[in-house]
Chain A
Amino acid sequence: MKYDFAVIGAGPAGYVAAKKAAGSGLKTLLVEKSKLGGVCLNEGCVPSKTLLQAAKTYHHAKHGSVFGVEVEGLSFDFPKAHAHKNQVMDKMRNGIAGLMKKHKVDVVEGEATLLPGLAVSINGETHEADNVLLCTGSSPSVPPIPGIDSGHVVDSTGILNRETLPDHLIIVGGGVIGCEFACMYASVGVPVTVLEAMPEICPNLDAEIASTLRNELTKKGVNFMLDTKVESIDEKSVSFANADGSDSVEGDLVLVATGRTPNTKGLGLEELGLDIDPRGGVRVDDRGATNVPGLWAAGDVTGQAWLAHAASRMAEVVVHNLTGRPDRMRYDKMPAVVYTSPEVAVVGLTKDEAEVRGLKVKTGRIPMAINARYLAENPDESGLCKVVLEAETNRLLGVHMVGGACSEMIFGATAMLETELREEEIEEIVFPHPTTSEIMKDVFMAVR
């Protein structure tokens, strides 16, 4: 069969690209070796957020006394939470399948191999395509730690399938994934130890936002060990070294969350002469084009952003460019969220990043507790909102928040950044009262 557009991988890049391309009239093929929805729907965003909500609900019930809510006989049925998670995933997968059918996308299950001259071979059948989008995602990285293949060591995919709570969870890596699982398990009463090699968790965040998150998770019972390098894992414990010397911590479940690696193997990419960067990502320009004519890439396979919404946007950019609408990625306006309790939501430049780019900046910072709605709902939590502005023009450069459910309002900051609003314009935007979002208006009063 000859297609206008073949998409390899049905994650948040692949199915969005297939839907949009088919909707624009391109004859489209979508190939998936496993389940529709990719890592996001099956092993990442969606299942983890479902379980995080279960943990959060339990936590609220347990700590409701400040609101006058006292619960007796409280328990946490983890298998039931998993059942809810599986139901959500099924519904979402069916939704994608329906969407593909509606847009007349040919969905084929199987492992794809790319052939020179741009053809896709699946299950022994070859399909030619004018353009191919590679969005095969990523897999958890496996760091070279002795004992990492032990039975009680899991990655983020493995831990999402475990329906029993451990006695003590050890997490190797204090990045976004490590923090989310630490929050989930600590919220339901499991002691958690996080071992992080860097001096602070989530090193890409503004340092104060990261330390605020760390303090909040510590309050939930997470023990963070920073500047700590894991040396080996055995049946009962994880050995590590830090400034205090070598020691070990006991635990019956070890989660390794040290990052992800782009999936580029077994696809025939070597024969195509595809340009792959030293970190293993497929190199693309800001339209998503690779060095091979007609071959495009989007999502984690490019090694950029590592975010489902970034993957969807990259896919959209590719299809726009294929269908005659000039478009390009703007990574510096890509929001990012850590779905812990409290949540972290950021978009744009931190003060340090802006200064590295040679921009003169001014900043504003306020605690979220000055906001009535936030204080009412989060009496025992320390939230924070920070903004970075270009000093000369008052143009907004970045918004950084930790506190409550701030992920739900970061899009507002993204819209401000995308339209390059200045302090003057933002001051005139009306924010509904009482909402936590007002914090994004009030923070400008603290700009200096």
Chain B
Amino acid sequence: MATPIIMPRQGQSVESCILTEWKVKVGDEVSEGDVLAVIETDKASFDLESTASGTILELFWEADDDVPVLANVAAVGKEGEDANEFRPADSGSSAAESDATPSQDPAPISTVEAQPAAASTAPSESPVPASASSGVSPRARKLASNRGVDAETIVGSGPGGRVIERDVEAFLAGRPRLSVSARSKAMDGLEPPKRGSGLAGMVLAGDMKVPGAIDGARIESVKGIRKVIAERMMQSLQSTAQLTLHSSFELTAAKAYRKQRLADGKPKVSLNDLIAYAIIETLKAHPEMNAHFLGDRIAVFEKVHLGVAVDTPRGLLVPVVRDSSDLSIENLSSAIKKLAGDCREGTISPDDLAGGSFTLTNLGMLGVETFTPVLNAPEIAILGVGGIVLKPKRSESGEVTYADYLPLSLTIDHQAIDGAPAARFLQTLVSHLENNPGEPLSQPNEQHEV
């Protein structure tokens, strides 16, 4: 009895996943727990593991398909078993298409034909591909296959738009000559340039480029997390009125606090943890900064759900410490550490990547002095932390000494909040970090009459 493998639900907020890459093919033997594919939500990527043992009977989706959660992605069973009953109605797989093409001719099946994903991007004189029903003559298919061309992408001139040999010849005539090595790359879906770098413009293997290639550049498609980041960033900049305020705080007290903790034998907290904690404490005195701007209304949150930007091999992720205003500095520190680790390993649950009310981002360790963070909309504020700078300061006696400072950049959505209240938030934050870091906010800010 064949068993379907379903697309697992990756957290409550996820409706579908991108199937980035198949790790198996039809006919492979798999055991329970083997990795079948790499899947990606809009926030992170995961391995799709087999929930059954046996032979892969069907793969219902192509790489890069957006697969709804709980849909069947593959079927595992005994070799020769029919798994068609598990085929999802809306899958775009090649098998489904060829079923709908009973006129399929018996010519040898070309490599390109077996790869519809590549076929859709193969070179073509015309953007209009021949329709599946009109078909390709066996001679045309053979010629096309031999020359590394996808016959399906050529406009046919035969009966009903059928692609015949003449069409393939005409298509080839308008193309540069390909070396045999280049031709084998064409089979893999790469495209030749108009003119190659070899003999009299012959296209060499090194000239073959992925569709849409640019000279001197490597092309990667924008998908998965990159795509989501791109959309969010543009949406943030287009839908908000961003204003960044710069300040800095003297590190002396924070350093002393961390030193004292060590002396007391308490768990280590990082400078970033101290700032995270300070934000949460400061937001208690400035709740208007802990909010979402929703166009016609502003949602001010009761608790702080602090997002912390994490640099991962897959791109920027912002895990959220839910109810972070309920946590002690020790618990906040370990929560941030765990979430950041999950992000880097790719095991973060999508639910932990949503629902923030304020975000902290730190580029100080990368040598950046100051920067203007981009809002994680609809949040109305984000705090950026730069790298340590040595600055002169004047003591009460008028003597000039030097001290380490850490630059802070607060970006706000001016639609929701004005510059002065944001500046007051920053003032309280700096004062807290300079006077009682790691401790609850001692006194409410009293400088409201500006």
Contact = CB atoms under 8 A, between A and B. Distances in A.
Interface of A: 326, 328, 330, 393, 395, 418-422, 425
28 contacts: A326-B195, A326-B201, A328-B197, A330-B198, A393-B181, A393-B184, A393-B205, A395-B181, A395-B205, A418-B198, A418-B199, A419-B180, A419-B198, A419-B199, A419-B202, A420-B179, A420-B180, A420-B181, A420-B182, A420-B198, A420-B204, A420-B205, A421-B179, A421-B180, A421-B181, A422-B180, A422-B181, A422-B184
A41 to B, nearest CB: 27
Contacts, number: 32
Nearest to A326: B195
Contacts of A330: 197-198
Nearest to B179: A420
A247 B205 CA distance: 54
A395 B202 CA distance: 16
4 closest A-B pairs by beta carbon, nearest first, are A420-B179, A420-B181, A395-B181, A418-B199
A393 B190 CA distance: 15
A422 B183 CA distance: 11
Contacts of B195: 326
Contacts of B204: 420
Contacts of A326: 195, 201
A353 to B, nearest CB: 16
Given A393-B181, A419-B179, A420-B179, 14 more contacts: A326-B201, A330-B198, A393-B184, A395-B181, A395-B205, A418-B198, A418-B199, A418-B202, A419-B199, A419-B202, A420-B205, A421-B180, A421-B181, A422-B180
A175 to B, nearest CB: 30
Interface string B153-184: 00000000000000000000000000111101
Nearest to A393: B181
A112 B181 CA distance: 46
Nearest to A421: B180
A393 B180 CA distance: 10
A393 B204 CA distance: 13
A395 B180 CA distance: 9
A299 to B, nearest CB: 21
A393 B187 CA distance: 13
A421 B181 CA distance: 7
Interface string B207-235: 00000000000000000000000000000
Contacts of A420: 179-182, 198, 204-205
Nearest to B183: A420
Contacts of B197: 328, 330
Contacts of A418: 198-199, 202
Contacts of A422: 180-181, 184
Contacts of B182: 420
Nearest to B181: A420
Nearest to B205: A420
Most chain B CB within 10 A, of A328, A330, A395, A420, is at A420
Nearest to A395: B181
Contacts of A328: 197
A135 to B, nearest CB: 23
B208 to A, nearest CB: 11
A217 B1 CA distance: 76
A89 to B, nearest CB: 32
Nearest to A328: B197
B66 to A, nearest CB: 32
A421 B182 CA distance: 10
Contacts of B199: 418-419
Nearest to B198: A418
A424 to B, nearest CB: 8
A425 B179 CA distance: 11
Nearest to A320: B200
Contacts of A419: 179-180, 198-199, 202
Contacts of B181: 393, 395, 420-422
A328 B201 CA distance: 9
A1 B235 CA distance: 65
Nearest to B203: A420
A330 B199 CA distance: 9
Nearest to A286: B197
Nearest to B206: A420
A394 to B, nearest CB: 9
A419 to B, nearest CB: 5
Q: In the complex, which of the residues A393, A418, A419, A425 has the most CB atoms of chain B within 10 Å of its own CB atom? A: A419
